[in-house]
Structures are given as structure tokens and as C-alpha cells.
Structure 1
Amino acid sequence: MNPPPPPFPAGRRELWAWCFYDFANSSFSTLIVTVAYSVYFVQVVAADVSPPGMAERLWFWGYALSMLVVALVSPVLGALADIRAIKRRVLIVSTLLCVFSTALLWFVHRGDVMLGLLIFGIANIGFDVGFVFCSAFLVELVPPQRMGRLSGYGWGFGYAGGLLSLALAYPFLAGGFADTNLASYRLSFVVTAVFFLSATLPTFLYLHERAQPRALPDGLTVWRAVMRQLRDTARRLSAYRDLRRYFIAYLLYSDAINTVIVASGIFANKVLDFTPGDLIIYFLVTQITAGLGSVGFGFVADRMGAVRSITVTLVLWIGVVIGAAAVQTHGQFYLLGLVAGAALGANQSVSRTLLGRFTPLGHQGEFFGFFSVAGKFAAILGPIVYGEVTAWTGSQRWAVLSMTLFFLVGLAVFVGVDERRGMAAAQE
């Protein structure tokens, strides 16, 4: 096996190129997953599906299934990328898959339920795989004491991308779901694809692959080597006590966070009667606090530790979901969104930082692949629970309140993580 690449030779241009991927892909997570397409699917594509609540159930089940695919392929792709040194190539291919599929959403019309779920699912798989492999570069770019800062810059820059993509999409979405505006509304999906592709070009051009292909043992094919590495990783995880505990906690709390994000646009539209224009303004506001939270907590994580920082964000999230279950007015929801945005940006930034600190050099793709497995399996149960509670009770208020349990159990597991011990294990 070849030694890992020399650490941290990245220059300023390459660091910005890495951050640009967060800037680019935020257009998809903001407009397709949260604000525009998810609401379009429930209100237009599946509008004629009965009984009440079935449209939401179909959306959340479709989203969960796409996350299942990502959870299954991420560790295999991660191990393969470590062996073949192809993180950058996988990043490019998965991004192009997402961009092309996002543009194809233009062809999804009223009643195209299965087509709409299939195209979205493919796009979402490409999006999440790309995110995993971009994140895996973090370990190579800066030393552990600077990871929080760089991750925070990336997330903060990402929310700036979300703001810009929302502003560009606003003219297409403002007319809502009137029949005369549906063509314009669908055009916003094409705008999202073009934005994603254009903004990710600096990443494609300037982010370098430093890893070297590893020599395969005699008689082993690449795929057998991948399977062996995955088996060895599973065994090694038993020695990484804090990383293993962090995986479990992340599985639980990211489940709730991801579900709240995916459901927020649908919740605002159906429970509080937000129009598509209202949603754009709402998410413009929350993107600002999310960006400030991600950058600010990046510095906080470097000073007071990632574990303490994540604990603070989880307490904030518990307050947010309880408040969302009781909110009655647009003004209250806007105020809640400010807090949720800050907690979201902070948690995302610091969670990636903590994994980077717990990851040994030479195993970035593999460990981040397992991190993706935790996150994507987490993204399966929460949406299903949300959709089923909505269908059973007829109320999304009970559905959002059900996320409190995930946060509480995740926090209870997470408080046992020792950051210094986990970093020491990675260095050994």
C-alpha cells in the first residue's frame, strides 16, 4: 500500500475552489429539495392523489428511497476512490449526473408522479454522492486545527450560493401555481441546473487529487480489494470508540435535521398558507442566518471544540421543532426560521469538522463514505416517520413534533463523545 499524500499543500486558490462546491450545490438543496420542486410535487404533480396526506407520503417515501441508494453505494465508492485515487473523478461524474437530471425536471407535469420521483431521485443521488466526495478532500487541504474554519467558510459560502440562486429563481416562482405560470415555474429547475454547473467549474479546474493509486495484493481485483477494505474498515471502527459513538449520534440527530429541512417548505405552504413568493423571501432570510452560523461556529469549533459546539446546536434544534409545532402566524415562523437557519449552518459546518478530526490520512474517501452511510440511512427513517405521521393524523404539526425524539436520543448518545481521544486515535 502506498503512503498517504503529503498533508496540507493547498494554496488559497484551491481552498476557494473547494468552497465553491458548497456555493454551487446549495442551489440544488435550496431550490429543488426545499423551496421549489418539493412544493411543486405536492401541490401540482401529485395534487390529484388521494386520500389527503398521500402526496406528502409519496414525496417523503421517494426521498427516503433515494437516500437508501446513496447509503448503499457511498462506502463502496469511497473505498474504490481511496484505492484508485479517483475522488475528483467521482465528484465530477456525480455532479454532472445531478445537473442533467435537475434540468430534466422541466418535463415533469401534473400527474407525472412516478416520473417526477424517479428523476428527482437520480438527481438527489448525484447530489449527495458529490457532497460526500467534496467533503472527503477536507482532510488533505488543512491541518485539524484549521478544519473548523475551512468547513465553516465552505458552508457560509454555500449559503451565499443559496441566496443568489433564490434571487435568480424568484421571477420564475413568484407567480405561483397558476396554470399560466407553471411553465415559468418549471423553468426555475433548469435555472438551478445551469447555476450548479456554472458555479462548480472552479472546483473542477483547481481542486487537485493528491492521493496515489494503491498497489493491489497479488490475485485481487479492484472490487475484491474494495470489499476487503470495507471489511477491514468495519473492523477498525471498533478501535475508534469515539468515531463509532459519533456515527450513532449523527445518525439520529441528522435524521431529524434533514427531515425538518426537506419538510419546511411543504409545512409553510400547507399549514401556514405561504405562497411560493413568500417561501422565497422566507428562505432568503434563513440563508443569511445559516451562513452566519456556519462561519461563526467554524471559529467557535476551533476555539472551544467541535463536540461542545454541536451540543449547543442540538439544544437549539430541540427548541425549534417544539416551536414549529405550535407556530400560528407568518411572523412567528419567520422568527423561528432565523434561529433554525443559524442552528442548521452551525451544525452542518461543525459536524463535518468533527469527522475530519477523527479521520486518519489515507482513508478519507472510505471514512467519509461511512459518514455518508450514517447520514443517508438517517435520511431514510425521519422522512418516512414524518410522512406517515402526517398521513395518520392529518396534521404536519404532530409530524414535526415527532422529530423531538430523534434530537433527544441523539443528544444523549453524543454527550459521551470525547474529542481529544478521538483525534488521538486518528493520529495513531
Structure 2
Amino acid sequence: MLKHFTKQEKSWMMYDWANSAYSTIITAAVLPIFFKSVTRGAGINPNIADSYWGYGTAVASIIVALFAPILGTLGDYKNMKMRLFRVFLVIGLISTAALAFTDQWQVILGIYIITVIGFSGANIFYDAFLVDVTTEDKMDRVSSYGYAIGYIGGSTIPFVISIALIMFGEKIGIPVLLATQISFMITAVWWAVFSIPMLKNVKQIHYIEHGPKMIVESINRLRKTFGNVKKYRKIFLFLLAYFFYIDGVGTIIRMATVYGDSIGIGSETMLLALMVIQIVAFPCAIIFGRLAERFGSSKMIMSGIFIYMLICILGYRMTTALEFWGIAMLVASAQGGIQAISRSHYGKMIPKENANEFFGIYDIFGKFSAIMGPTLFALSSQLTGSSRFGVLSVMIQFIIGATIFMIAEKKSPQKASLQTN
């Protein structure tokens, strides 16, 4: 499947294989369910627990968003991109492994926030490496294949092992608590081992030279970029649209299992459905990439937004496990595709030598959107006493995102160019 890609492209893709274990087990499935079971044991109302999880996610996102732009500008300097990538990778690995050593909900939430910082920080530099490993005409395909192999490998194999341990471990003398904690250690080990090709083979090709005061220079460059909003109007309109629609995608990923638990969908049903999502999402992400090459990335991003609007409506009305499965398949059809094509669509708009700076800005829009969605979900659930209104509130983000994206696409094509001295 990957024979037509270069060694650097394949090594870059393998990091999606590596960190997708975190995305599934920590972000979407095992940890949220574990958190809900621990809070239930502590006598906390399920809707309040949903709010705590949403607020925790928002706090982590604020921290990452505040530092993302300056980290991005630092990463543009020669030899800095990989150094910073390694720092955040280590933070993510150590904190993920630490989840295996606690069953206190407050500690779990605190460590989870640190894992988000490590995972998200590393992704700033991982995304920016896309311009170093491939050419513009292959970006949609390389980006979508990265998500695809992440689904079939990183999301599926460690997830299946973890779920098997949790569901059947007691038959061989492994309690559910221990099996769950082992799954967190499996995630950390998987993430570490399959990051090795990225660390060995991916190099920073596009960079700018730095003077003796890198941080001061970085701040000045960042200020200059934000000061030229009019010059980069198409890029910033796209980022504003991305801010809203990726908010919806991220909120559904983060809150799906806690929401399903609150309306009575069994844990086993949710875990099996999430496993199937990873398998179905594999070909769908590749198809999204191929369709983007044929019809354009803009049309495929809009298609993904409309699918998620339908998901919000169906999620609000959901009452049975069968309906949960139907919604899960819709998520699988668009989840990887809309993220992959958004990344490559943006990558083609920005200057390669300033990729980290622009991806740092890209990340701040993504992370601040991750504050709004979970917070809106949490407040809606808390104020109404029902998580259904939390799901419905996400619809607003997709409507606003689609509107701004269509406005952005009416602007004439442009590619940013920065003065770096």
C-alpha cells in the first residue's frame, strides 16, 4: 500500500500509527470510561462528571494554545523542529504511562491534562514536518494516508488488545482495574516504539537561520505575522472556519463515550463500536484523500462538515445501541478525512520555510476551539440536566464553520510569504 511513498513520507506516516493509540485509548475510549466509573464510585452525578471531563479538556487546551504560536516560530529555526518535537513526545509518553499507577479521579484528571499537553505539543511539530517530507501535489494523499494507517494500526491493534484485557481479563485472573491500567502502559509503549522511524528518518529541510536572540526574534516574527492579517486574509479566514468546525469534530471525539454512558449505552457496546470505527475509518480516510485530489480539498472539507451536522442531529435523538452504531459509522466516514484534508489544505497555503510558525497558529485555533466545544457541552449538560442538549449545541459550531469556510474559498487563491529578517 505504501510502495509509492518515499522513506521520509512513510516514516512521517508511522508517527500517526504511533500516536493514534493515544487518540483512541486515552482521548476517546478507555480513559473517559474509566474516569466515569471512578467518579461513579465516588458518588459523583454522571452529568457533573461529564462537566469535569469537559472542563479538564478545556484547561489542557488553553495551556497548549497559549504556547503554540511561540513554539511554532521557534521550530522554524534550523535544527529546532525535531528538538522541540522530542521534548513534547517525552512529556506525553511519561504522563501516559503514569496513568497506570492511580485510581483517584482527581489525579487521573490532572495527569490527563499533562498527557494532552505532551500529545498536542508534539503534534504541532509533526504536522509542520509535512512540508519537509513531501511535495505540494502529494500533500492530500500523504496526509490522508497518515490518518488511515493510524486508524488501522495505532488505533486498532493496541485498542483491541486493551479491550480484550478489560472484557475478558478476569477469566485469567486480571481484574478490570488492573487491565485498564495495563492498557495505559500499552499505549505509552506503542507510542514510543513506533515513533522511532520519525525520530530517525525525518529531517527539517525548510528552515530559517537564527541570530543570537531566538526568542526575541520569534516574538517579533509572530507579531509581524499577526500584524499582516489583511495580507494573509484567506489564510486567517480559513483558520477562523477551522476554529469552529474542528471544534465540533474534537468535541464529539472527546465527549462521545461520556455522553453514551450518560444516556444508558453500555460500555461494551461503546468500546466495540469505537473499535469498528477505527477499521471503517481506514479506507474512508484514503478515499477522502483520493476524492480531494479529484474534486479539490475544499469540497471534501464541506462534505465532512455536512456529515457532522447530521451526526449532531442524530446524536440528540439517539436512544438505542443500534442508533449509536449508525452514528458511529457516520463518524468513521468523515473523522479522519476532514482532519487530514484540513491539514494538507492548510499546508498548501503557507510558506514552507515558515511552516512551524503557521502550524503553531493553526494549532492555537484548533486548541482554543477545543476549549469552546467541551465547555459549551459541559455548560449545556449542567444547566439543562441532560447531555442531549450538549450534543445539539455542537451543531452551532459546524454551521458557523461552514459559513466562514465558504466565504474564505471565494477569495482568490494566495500563498503567504514572510519577511524573516
Q: 5 Å matches for 1:269-308?
A: 269-275=261-267, 277-308=268-299
Instruction: Look up the equivalent residue of 2:393 and give its one-letter code.
Output: S
Give me the whole-angstrom Cα distance separating, in 1, the residues matched to 2:112 and 2:131.
Answer: 31
Q: 5 Å matches for 1:34-113?
A: 34-45=28-39, 47-48=41-42, 50-109=44-103, 112-113=104-105
- Name the count of aligned residue pairs: 413
Deviation at 1:192, TM superposition (A): 0.8
Q: 2:136 aligns with which of 121, 144, 154?
A: 144
Instruction: String of CA shifts for 1:191-246, please: whole Å, max 9, x gaps.
Output: 11111111111111111122455132xxx622111110110111233211211100
Do structure 1's residue 310 and structure 2's residue 301 form an aligned pair?
A: yes
Give me the whole-angstrom Cα distance separating, in 1, the residues matched to 2:348 and 2:325.
Answer: 35
Change beyond 3 A, Cα 1:35–1:183: same
Deviation at 1:329, TM superposition (A): 1.6
Change beyond 3 A, Cα 1:396–1:170: same
**Contact 1:240-1:422 at 8 Å conserved across structures:** no
**Contact 1:156-1:295 at 8 Å conserved across structures:** yes
Deviation at 1:176, TM superposition (A): 9.4
Deviation at 1:425, TM superposition (A): 4.7
Deviation at 1:272, TM superposition (A): 3.2
Q: Which residue pairs with 1:3 in the alignment?
A: none
Greater shift, 204-213 or 124-133, is seen at: 204-213
Deviation at 1:151, TM superposition (A): 0.5
Give me the whole-angstrom Cα distance separating, in 1, the residues matched to 2:302 and 2:49.
Answer: 35
Q: 1:168 aligns with which of 137, 145, 161?
A: 161
Deviation at 1:364, TM superposition (A): 0.5
Instruction: Look up the equivalent residue of 1:146 and give its one-letter code.
Output: K
Give me the whole-angstrom Cα distance separating, in 2, the residues matched to 1:46 and 1:84.
Answer: 50
Instruction: String of CA shifts for 1:110-165, please: whole Å, max 9, x gaps.
Output: xx233212211111111011112111011122222211011011110111120112
Deviation at 1:36, TM superposition (A): 0.5
Instruction: Look up the equivalent residue of 2:176 and give its one-letter code.
Output: N
Give me the whole-angstrom Cα distance separating, in 1, the residues matched to 2:199 and 2:133.
Answer: 16
Q: Which residue pairs with 2:213 in the alignment?
A: 221
Extract unaligned runs of 5+ from structure 2: none
What secondary structure, in the 3-state scheme, does the structure 2 residue paired with 1:417 have?
helix
Greater shift, 114-123 or 60-69, is seen at: 114-123
Change beyond 3 A, Cα 1:45–1:191: farther
Do structure 1's residue 251 and structure 2's residue 246 form an aligned pair?
A: no
Q: Which residue pairs with 2:21 in the alignment?
A: 27
Q: 1:349 aligns with which of 327, 336, 340?
A: 340
Give me the whole-angstrom Cα distance separating, in 2, the residues matched to 1:207 and 1:19.
Answer: 10
Instruction: Look up the equivalent residue of 2:100 and give its one-letter code.
Output: W
Deviation at 1:281, TM superposition (A): 1.4
Would you identify which runs of 4 or more consecutive aligned residues in structure 1 move more than 6 Å? 176-179
Q: 1:187 aligns with which of 182, 186, 190?
A: 182
Change beyond 3 A, Cα 1:423–1:24: farther
Give me the whole-angstrom Cα distance separating, in 2, the residues matched to 1:395 and 1:43.
Answer: 19
Q: 2:124 aligns with which of 128, 132, 136?
A: 132
**Contact 1:385-1:399 at 8 Å conserved across structures:** yes
Change beyond 3 A, Cα 1:68–1:367: same
Change beyond 3 A, Cα 1:302–1:50: same
Deviation at 1:11, TM superposition (A): 6.9
Give me the whole-angstrom Cα distance separating, in 2, the residues matched to 1:331 and 1:262.
Answer: 21
**Contact 1:45-1:116 at 8 Å conserved across structures:** no
Q: Which residue pairs with 1:5 in the alignment?
A: none
Extract unaligned runs of 5+ from structure 1: 1-9
Change beyond 3 A, Cα 1:209–1:324: same
Give me the whole-angstrom Cα distance separating, in 2, the residues matched to 1:300 and 1:273.
Answer: 34
Give me the whole-angstrom Cα distance separating, in 2, the residues matched to 1:383 and 1:267.
Answer: 12
Give me the whole-angstrom Cα distance separating, in 2, the residues matched to 1:44 and 1:57.
Answer: 15
What secondary structure, in the 3-state scheme, does the structure 2 residue paired with 1:53 have?
helix
Give me the whole-angstrom Cα distance separating, in 2, the residues matched to 1:376 and 1:390.
Answer: 21
Change beyond 3 A, Cα 1:52–1:34: closer
Give the TM-score normalised by structure 2: 0.93
Instruction: Look up the equivalent residue of 1:172 and give its one-letter code.
Output: L
What secondary structure, in the 3-state scheme, does the structure 2 residue paired with 1:358 have?
coil
Q: Which residue pairs with 2:397 in the alignment?
A: 406
Give me the whole-angstrom Cα distance separating, in 2, the residues matched to 1:84 and 1:225.
Answer: 13
Deviation at 1:394, TM superposition (A): 2.0
Give me the whole-angstrom Cα distance separating, in 2, the residues matched to 1:150 and 1:410.
Answer: 25
Change beyond 3 A, Cα 1:64–1:374: same
Deviation at 1:380, TM superposition (A): 0.2
**Contact 1:305-1:419 at 8 Å conserved across structures:** no
Give the TM-score normalised by structure 1: 0.91
Deviation at 1:265, TM superposition (A): 1.3
Do structure 1's residue 197 and structure 2's residue 192 form an aligned pair?
A: yes
Change beyond 3 A, Cα 1:399–1:47: farther
Do structure 1's residue 158 and structure 2's residue 150 form an aligned pair?
A: yes
Instruction: String of CA shifts for 1:84-124, please: whole Å, max 9, x gaps.
Output: 43111111221121111001001221xx2332122111111
Sequence identity percentage: 27
Instruction: String of CA shifts for 1:245-300, please: whole Å, max 9, x gaps.
Output: 0011011111111011101111222313322x333311121112222222111111
Q: Which residue pairs with 1:7 in the alignment?
A: none
